[in-house]
Amino acid sequence: MALALVVGAACGRQERQVPATPLPVAAAQTLLAVPHATLVAVTDWQATLKPCGCTVDSQNGGVERIAHWLKALRSTDDSVLAVHAGSLLHDTEGLTLPGKAAQLAVRRDTFGQVLAQLGMAAVSLSRWDLQQGGDAVALAYASASAAVLALSAVPGVPNAKSATVLRTSSGVAVGMVGVDGGDGLEDPARHVAVAKAVAELRAQGADVTVALCNQGLRAARRLARAVPDLDVAVVGGLDEKVEPLHEFESEGETLIVHAARHGALVVALTLVPHGQRKGPWRQAGEFLAGAAQDLQARREALAAHLDTARARATVATQRALPYYEAQLADLDRRIGLAQSAVGNSLPQGRLAAFRAVALPWSAPTDHAMAAVVAQYDRAVLALADRDQTSPPPVPAGKAGYVGQAVCLGCHAPAREFAAQDAHAVAWKTLQDAGKTRDLDCVPCHVTGFGQPGGTTLAHLGPLTSVQCEACHGPGSLHVAAPGKAEKSQLAHPVTEAACTVCHTPQHAPRFAFDAYRAKLIVPGHGKPAAAQ
């Protein structure tokens, strides 16, 4: 299935000359009552339907929740433009696994349906996607019915253009340009090309200019300094550990915004240019309709989440506390501003309101999008049923896997630890989510996936969940050794590399090996067993 990108009816895309006449300044009480544009941005989506990870934060978002939220937003805001920057269609994980290429192709095709339902207005073409996915990705971009933006021509993607003007229903013309690091240009030449595109967009009547930038934050800031007539940079190509924004950032008069990877976060930026094309943007989130009530509801939800996090003893939640507390303080500040703005007219000048929307698991989902995801899950199951690959054989003289039951047969004091440790329910989390055949998930929820004598989709045996041998290595030689003196073949102490195969910055953004390891060294597991 080709990738279908469509502009929602509310976007009203037009590629024509737009008169550069000043827009009226109304004495209104909300930003949505005057000509405006609301950019909804996702960055580095990588065709991810549902984010996953070891912490609650890393499981936020997902296309079903985004679809519901976006539909609700459009019901109250007729000037939404949904955009994307960064890697859209290809991820980096598990590409060498047997069967992963076929599954990724299905996921990419499914993502075409996702983006069509979401009504995306513009995407910045990622040459990294093309390098990884080849002709299939080129065809997906070439089949797009919305704006695919790239500074220079792209072989196989004839519809790619350097820039386009989209006009919102409320009357603001938004000029967009795509900026990608794989275009073969050095920074100075790229900056000149962007400046030229921005000037052309202004000549076509663009009230607001936006770069969908795939190069990361540093490159986006350099671009903003070099092209001061650029109003907004939506930034993809982010490092995995970049924390979500509470507010837009600025470089000169250019606003810098980004979201988390994999659709774990959506950001919305409402812009009211008030007929002005220069000058600073004033933060004006307090003038969004229902701002005080919305912020108060978000504060209550965050406060409840923070109370839960404080009560937990896990390393991840404790390390996240300062981030949650900063969010809470920021919400208190915003609530105060929103309450004081009630009944006031809009300020003069260019106004901007930023929202970062996390969409936790408790957020409602869209039924139509859920059906698309369910269709994908069925396709993945069919692929897995055809995959009867066995794990590689164990080389002569090397250790194979025996399973946790064998380990605990001798190491009885570790049984209590093994039963209550979070790793013990890794497989159950996939069962609950219906992901037990998904190559995006299974390798980090079983032991020894793809390893000699380990597991594959068709051969799991007694090695489901993350067991002793996931950390200490395969144990057959250890078990077979005739005496205690010979039982030295296991990995001890466990190294950080054993953990970071799965605890990546994407899945465990606050992972700290020493702190996590200390939590695992308890009586019966690394310490003498408690006296009975």
Same-domain check for residues 459 and 500: yes
Confidence of residue 332 (pLDDT cuts 50, 70, 90): confident
What is the dihedral angle through the alpha carbons of 210, 214, 218, 219, rounded to the nearest 10 degrees? -80
Give the per-residue pLDDT at 485.
Answer: 67
Residues 6+ away with beta carbon under 8 Å from 230? 194, 198, 209, 210, 211, 223, 224, 254
Give the per-residue pLDDT at 207.
Answer: 98
Residue 113 to residue 116: CA distance in whole angstroms: 5
- Six-digit token string for 68: 């519901």
Same-domain check for residues 116 and 136: yes
Same-domain check for residues 337 and 353: no
Give the per-residue pLDDT at 241.
Answer: 63
Over residues 341-362, the mean pLDDT reads: 86
Give the per-residue pLDDT at 142.
Answer: 87
Question: Is residue 26 predicted with pLDDT exceeding 70?
Answer: no
Give the per-residue pLDDT at 29.
Answer: 74
Number of domains in the chain: 3
Instruction: Tell me whether residue 300 is in a domain.
Output: yes
Question: Is residue 454 predicted with pLDDT exceeding 90?
Answer: yes
- According to DSSP, residue 120 is labeled E
Residue 433 to residue 509: CA distance in whole angstroms: 22
Same-domain check for residues 43 and 97: yes
Give the per-residue pLDDT at 23.
Answer: 36
Instruction: Tell me whether residue 506 is in a domain.
Output: yes
- According to DSSP, residue 161 is labeled B
**Contact assessment for residue 383 and residue 117, using Cβ atoms and an 8 Å cutoff:** no
Percent of the chain with pLDDT over 90: 46
Tokens 């701002």 -> residue: 291
Instruction: Tell me whether residue 20 is in a domain.
Output: no
Please provide the size of the chain in residues: 532
Same-domain check for residues 255 and 338: no
Give the per-residue pLDDT at 531.
Answer: 61
Boundaries of domain holding 311:
291-345
Question: Is residue 532 predicted with pLDDT exceeding 60?
Answer: no
289-330 confidence digits (pLDDT tens): 777 777 787 788 778 877 877 777 677 667 777 877 887 888
Over residues 211-230, the mean pLDDT reads: 96
What is the rounded average pLDDT for all residues in the chain?
A: 85
Residue 94 to residue 99: CA distance in whole angstroms: 10
Confidence of residue 467 (pLDDT cuts 50, 70, 90): very high
What pTM value is reported for the model? 0.83
Same-domain check for residues 142 and 226: yes
The rounded Cα 407 to chain-centroid distance in angstroms is 38
Same-domain check for residues 254 and 306: no
**Contact assessment for residue 353 and residue 36, using Cβ atoms and an 8 Å cutoff:** no
Helix axes 315-341, 291-311, angle to 10 degrees: 160
Instruction: Tell me whether residue 302 is in a domain.
Output: yes
Q: Which residue has the higher pLDDT, 181 or 130?
A: 130
Question: Is residue 16 predicted with pLDDT exceeding 70?
Answer: no
Residue 295 to residue 333: CA distance in whole angstroms: 10
Give the per-residue pLDDT at 57.
Answer: 67
Same-domain check for residues 79 and 61: yes
Instruction: Tell me whether residue 150 is in a domain.
Output: yes
Which CATH number do you get for residue 268?
3.60.21.10
Amino acid identity of residue 384, one-letter, is: A
Query: C-alpha angle 446/494/433, rounded to 5°?
Result: 20
Q: Say whether the peptide bond before residue 528 is cis (omega within 30 degrees of 0).
A: no
Instruction: Tell me whether residue 370 is in a domain.
Output: no
Buried b (16+ CB within 10 A) or exposed e, 464-473: bbbbbbbbbb
Over residues 442-467, the mean pLDDT reads: 93
143-173 confidence digits (pLDDT tens): 877 789 999 888 899 999 999 999 999 999 9
Tokens 């296991």 -> residue: 490
Instruction: Tell me whether residue 373 is in a domain.
Output: no
446 phi-psi bin (left φ>0, alpha ψ -120 to 50, beta other): beta
Instruction: Tell me whether residue 3 is in a domain.
Output: no
Nearest to 296 by CA among 333, 267, 342, 331: 331
The bridge status of strand 254-257 relative to strand 281-283 is unpaired
Same-domain check for residues 123 and 191: yes
Which of the listed residues 309, 325, 345 is the one where a domain comes to its end? 345
**φ and ψ at 360, to 5 degrees?**
-70, 180
Same-domain check for residues 263 and 334: no
Which of the listed residues 357, 379, 405 is the one where a domain comes to its end? 357
Max distance between CA atoms of the chain, in angstroms, equals 88
Same-domain check for residues 413 and 351: no
Alpha carbon of 514 to those of 177, 315, 521: distances in Å?
Answer: 44, 10, 11
Q: Is 484 exposed, middle or buried (0-12, 13-18, 19+ CB in 10 A)?
A: exposed
Over residues 266-284, the mean pLDDT reads: 94
Q: Give the DSSP H/E element, type plus range, for residue 219.
A: helix 217-226
Which CATH number do you get for residue 429?
1.10.1130.10
Q: Which residue has the higher pLDDT, 11 or 240?
A: 240
Give the per-residue pLDDT at 131.
Answer: 86
Residue 423 to residue 329: CA distance in whole angstroms: 34
- Six-digit token string for 108: 């990419």
Q: Which residue has the higher pLDDT, 434 or 338?
A: 434
Residue 528 to residue 532: CA distance in whole angstroms: 12
User: Which residues is 42 bridged to in the sheet?
Assistant: 84
Same-domain check for residues 295 and 279: no
